[in-house]
């Protein structure tokens, strides 16, 4: 059998192309323009039938890549959590099955058909959840002290969040693949950059929690600690501390969640208690917290406003507002701007430096809006991880 060179075969095939090409509007020019005309037509017809499918393949590939990355982040997170729990808790048995069980925990919110009293129901459910996780951490790592217990609880919660994000993205990816629905995949692909950003933030948070490093959200407690430094501190319900600080001729009741363990406390209950202790004679409440910045704003910018600066499911904000309304106490807020990634990853220098700027802002606020001899509350809201008092 004689071998025909490849170029001969191609030349034979391509020699017929101008004829076909002319029929498709190639224009009857030279060979080169005919090729282009034909390929344009072929490409057009291909896109007409397979364009959407092609687009979907590209999107699915992108989602798949990110899903691999999410899986990697989640597994690294689990590994870090298990290693830290073993190291800190000095457990001799295999803790992996227990950790796995914790990762799949879920919380069902209260029924909202009749919204009256829903806040106390939600509060109760959150308390039970918190206690349950704490008990499990105690069981997994029996040698933990209170500070480590809080840090490990936070570590486990970050691992749970990563696990949940991974499962949700995987669910929609498989659903899109099963149904071959462009719109399912498209929605997932559109929100993926934000999801990935959040997952990366949780991954950084997990590492910070396992080591007990202050995070961006700890800026509120950091400011409160700076104000209460050297003063006597007492505990207040629940998991919070308060110090009576002379401040510009006024008496400031400076409060924060108890540190240095990872703990947000229950600012709602704590503020309620302190207001009642003072029979409502509070001239002003100032809440200091980390606030989400918009794109274009700088990390560590300090801004001032009105209202309860506190995140979470809203239980604490509700309790604080109820008390403020009862005693007609004005409320002011000072926030330190940062994005979600900065808020849960180890504290950045810019955020640390913003603490002094925020204290100056609080000072101005107190001088402008209260009289000498007044009593006011300053609450540094946020996670007290890595911040003592």
Considering the complex, state which of residue 94 and residue 135 has its C-beta at the smaller distance from other proteins: 94
> Which H or E run includes 299?
none
Considering the complex, state which of residue 6 and residue 111 has its C-beta at the smaller distance from other proteins: 6
Contacts of 355 (CB under 8 A, 6+ apart): 219, 222, 223, 226, 336
Closest alpha carbon to 336 in 236, 242, 217: 217
> Which H or E run includes 245?
strand 240-247
Is residue 308 part of the contact set for other proteins (CB under 8 A)?
no
Is residue 290 part of the contact set for other proteins (CB under 8 A)?
no
Which one among 246, 349, 368, 371 touches other proteins, defined by CB under 8 A? Answer: 349
Residue 236, helix vs strand vs coil? strand
Is residue 26 part of the contact set for other proteins (CB under 8 A)?
no
Rg (CA), the chain: 30
Which one among 18, 26, 89, 259 touches other proteins, defined by CB under 8 A? Answer: 259
Is residue 211 part of the contact set for other proteins (CB under 8 A)?
yes
CB 307 within 8 A of CB 333: yes
Is residue 263 part of the contact set for other proteins (CB under 8 A)?
no
Site for other proteins in 156-185 (CB under 8 A): 163
> What phi, psi does 8 have (nearest 5°)?
-65, -45
b vs e for 105-139, b when ≥16 Cβ sit within 10 Å of the residue's Cβ?
eeeeeeeeeeeeebbeebbebbeeebeebbebbee
Considering the complex, state which of residue 134 and residue 348 has its C-beta at the smaller distance from other proteins: 348
Nearest approach, Cβ of residue 92 and other proteins (Å): 14
Name the one range near other proteins by CB under 8 A: 30-38, 41-49, 112-120, 176-184. Answer: 30-38
Which one among 150, 155, 213, 370 touches other proteins, defined by CB under 8 A? Answer: 213
How far apart are the C-alpha atoms of 385 and 261, rounded to whole Å? 5
Question: Which of the 8 DSSP states describes residue 93?
Answer: S
Of the CA atoms within 13 Å of residue 325, those in its CB half-sphere come to 7
Q: Find the distance separating the first CA and the last CA of the chain, reported in whole Å.
A: 91
Contacts of 93 (CB under 8 A, 6+ apart): none
Is residue 268 part of the contact set for other proteins (CB under 8 A)?
no
Bridge partners (DSSP) of residue 252 are 245, 376
Which one among 141, 185, 290, 347 touches other proteins, defined by CB under 8 A? Answer: 347
Considering the complex, state which of residue 37 and residue 214 has its C-beta at the smaller distance from other proteins: 214
Nearest approach, Cβ of residue 67 and other proteins (Å): 9
Nearest approach, Cβ of residue 298 and other proteins (Å): 9
Which one among 4, 5, 232, 328 touches other proteins, defined by CB under 8 A? Answer: 5
How far apart are the C-alpha atoms of 381 and 265, rounded to whole Å? 9
Is residue 212 part of the contact set for other proteins (CB under 8 A)?
yes
Query: How many of the other CB atoms lie within 10 Å of CB of 75?
Result: 13
Nearest approach, Cβ of residue 251 and other proteins (Å): 22
Closest alpha carbon to 148 in 98, 89, 96: 89
Is residue 346 part of the contact set for other proteins (CB under 8 A)?
yes
Is residue 96 part of the contact set for other proteins (CB under 8 A)?
yes
Contacts of 39 (CB under 8 A, 6+ apart): none
Considering the complex, state which of residue 174 and residue 367 has its C-beta at the smaller distance from other proteins: 174
CA-based diameter of the chain, in Å? 109
Name the one range near other proteins by CB under 8 A: 99-107, 263-271, 272-280, 282-290. Answer: 99-107
Site for other proteins in 39-78 (CB under 8 A): 65, 68-69, 71-76, 78
Using CB under 8 A as the criterion, which residues of the chain lie in contact with other proteins when the complex forms? 5-7, 10-11, 14, 31-32, 35, 65, 68-69, 71-76, 78-79, 82, 96-97, 99-100, 103, 163, 203-204, 207-208, 211-214, 222, 225, 229, 259-260, 295-296, 345-349, 351-352, 386-389
């Amino acid at each position: 059998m004689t071998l025909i060179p490849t170029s001969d075969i191609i030349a034979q095939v391509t020699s017929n192309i101008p004829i076909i090409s002319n029929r498709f509007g190639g224009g009857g020019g030279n060979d080169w323009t005919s090729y282009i005309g034909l390929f344009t037509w072929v490409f057009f017809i291909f896109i007409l039938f397979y364009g959407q499918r092609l687009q979907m393949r590209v999107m699915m590939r992108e989602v798949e890549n990110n899903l691999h990355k999410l899986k990697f982040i989640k597994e690294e997170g689990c590994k870090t959590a298990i290693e830290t729990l073993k190291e800190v808790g000095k457990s001799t048995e295999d803790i992996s099955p227990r950790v796995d069980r914790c990762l799949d925990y879920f919380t069902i919110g209260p029924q909202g058909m009749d919204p009256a009293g829903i806040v106390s129901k939600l509060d109760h459910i959150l308390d039970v959840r918190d206690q349950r996780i704490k008990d499990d951490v105690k069981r997994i790592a029996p040698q933990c002290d209170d500070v480590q217990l809080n840090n490990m609880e936070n570590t486990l919660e970050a691992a749970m969040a990563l696990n949940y994000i991974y499962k949700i993205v995987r669910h929609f990816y498989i659903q899109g693949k099963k149904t071959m629905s462009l719109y399912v995949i498209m929605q997932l692909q559109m929100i993926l950059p934000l999801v990935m950003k959040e997952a990366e933030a949780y991954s950084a948070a997990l590492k910070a929690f396992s080591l007990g490093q202050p995070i961006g959200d700890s800026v509120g407690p950091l400011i409160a600690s700076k104000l209460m430094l050297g003063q006597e501190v007492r505990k207040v319900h629940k998991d919070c501390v308060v110090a009576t600080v002379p401040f510009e001729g006024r008496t400031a009741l400076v409060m924060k969640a108890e540190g240095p363990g990872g703990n947000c406390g229950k600012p709602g209950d704590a503020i309620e208690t302190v207001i009642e202790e003072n029979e409502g004679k509070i001239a002003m409440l100032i809440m200091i917290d980390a606030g989400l910045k918009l794109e274009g704003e700088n990390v560590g910018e300090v801004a001032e406003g009105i209202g309860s600066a506190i995140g979470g499911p809203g239980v604490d904000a509700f309790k604080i507002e109820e008390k403020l309304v009862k005693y007609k106490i004005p409320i002011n807020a000072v926030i330190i701007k940062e994005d979600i990634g900065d808020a849960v990853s180890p504290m950045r220098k810019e955020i640390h430096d913003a603490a002094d700027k925020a204290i100056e802002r609080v000072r101005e606020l107190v001088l402008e809006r209260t009289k000498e001899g007044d009593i006011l509350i300053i609450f540094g809201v946020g996670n007290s991880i890595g911040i003592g008092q």
